[in-house]
């Protein structure tokens, strides 16, 4: 399999995602949260870029079974039902609901992946399941959401972790960035993922009292489900 890793959405154009299979990774926290939400019975998660568009999209769908979710600066958005903490997305809250979500990094990466032939959502929570979902693919791009346009270590290590699993399954041709990610994962990707606490994203969440989110997002293979983007909605 030909394996590429893109460390920031800013590189997505240069990486030529059109027509390819893309895995979007935002460990802290958007793809972790979406994996958790769908595993807990949410019907779909619709990523949108702005708060205004989230409100408009939700009202178009009809508010009855719709929840507004997301964050700005890691915090709940005023008037929204849920933030971006995976711990909030329990079956009690989300089962049967359609979630409209806007976050700083993850939803941007999901929108950047719009040109992909197939787009799946990955995190440590479903990492092994992602490698299984890619088993039939000849070519995969792991697209890291990054953080405010910059490299995020947790996404790179998660991409490298998935890449290493794929390399165990069969011969892999890796780009420079995929090789780099796999090397990072070989040192940092061993559970428990203590390095997460020291990443820029992990440290910010801990400062905001969201340390439990960091621990939660570092649980490898909590789920076997792999959300895919279909018609701009993340579904199982």
Residues that bind its own copies (CB under 8 A): 6-8, 10-11, 13-15, 147-153, 156, 175-177, 179-180, 183-184, 187-188, 199-200
Quote helix, strand, coil % in the chain, to nearest 5.
45, 20, 35
Q: Alpha helices of the chain — where are they, by DSSP H? A: 12-15, 30-39, 51-61, 91-94, 106-112, 127-133, 153-169, 176-188, 200-207, 211-217
State in angstroms the smallest separation of the CB of 68 from its own copies. Answer: 27
Q: Specify the DSSP class assigned to residue 9.
A: G
Nearer to its own copies, 108 or 129 (CB): 108
State in angstroms the smallest separation of the CB of 186 from its own copies. Answer: 9
State in angstroms the smallest separation of the CB of 137 from its own copies. Answer: 20
State in angstroms the smallest separation of the CB of 146 from its own copies. Answer: 8
Nearer to its own copies, 36 or 213 (CB): 213
Q: Which of 134, 173, 162 is nearest to 25 (CA)?
A: 162
Nearer to its own copies, 201 or 227 (CB): 201
State in angstroms the smallest separation of the CB of 69 from its own copies. Answer: 25
Nearer to its own copies, 12 or 45 (CB): 12
Nearer to its own copies, 181 or 229 (CB): 181
Q: Which of 128, 134, 136, 133 is nearest to 158 (CA)?
A: 128
Q: Which of 234, 204, 203, 197 is nearest to 218 (CA)?
A: 197
């Amino acid at each position: 399999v030909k394996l590429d890793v893109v460390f920031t959405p800013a590189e997505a154009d240069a990486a030529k995602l059109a027509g390819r299979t893309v895995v979007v990774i935002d460990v802290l926290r958007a793809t972790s949260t979406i994996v958790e939400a769908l595993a807990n019975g949410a019907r779909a998660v619709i990523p949108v870029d702005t708060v205004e568009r989230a409100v408009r999209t939700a009202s178009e769908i009809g508010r009855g079974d719709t929840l507004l979710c997301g964050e700005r600066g890691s915090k709940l958005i005023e008037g929204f039902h849920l933030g971006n903490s995976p711990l909030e997305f329990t079956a009690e809250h989300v089962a049967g609901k359609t979630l409209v979500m806007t976050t700083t990094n993850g939803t941007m990466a999901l929108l950047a992946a719009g040109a992909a032939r197939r787009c799946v959502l990955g995190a440590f929570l479903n990492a092994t399941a992602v490698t299984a979902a890619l088993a039939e693919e000849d070519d995969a791009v792991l697209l890291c959401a990054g953080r405010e346009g910059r490299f995020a270590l947790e996404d790179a290590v998660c991409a490298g972790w998935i890449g290493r699993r794929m390399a165990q399954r069969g011969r892999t041709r890796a780009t420079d960035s995929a090789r780099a990610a796999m090397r990072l994962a070989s040192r940092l990707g061993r559970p428990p993922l203590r390095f997460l606490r020291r990443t820029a994203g992990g440290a910010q969440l801990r400062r905001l009292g969201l340390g439990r989110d960091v621990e939660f997002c570092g649980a490898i293979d909590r789920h076997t489900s792999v959300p895919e983007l279909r018609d701009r909605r993340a579904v199982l």
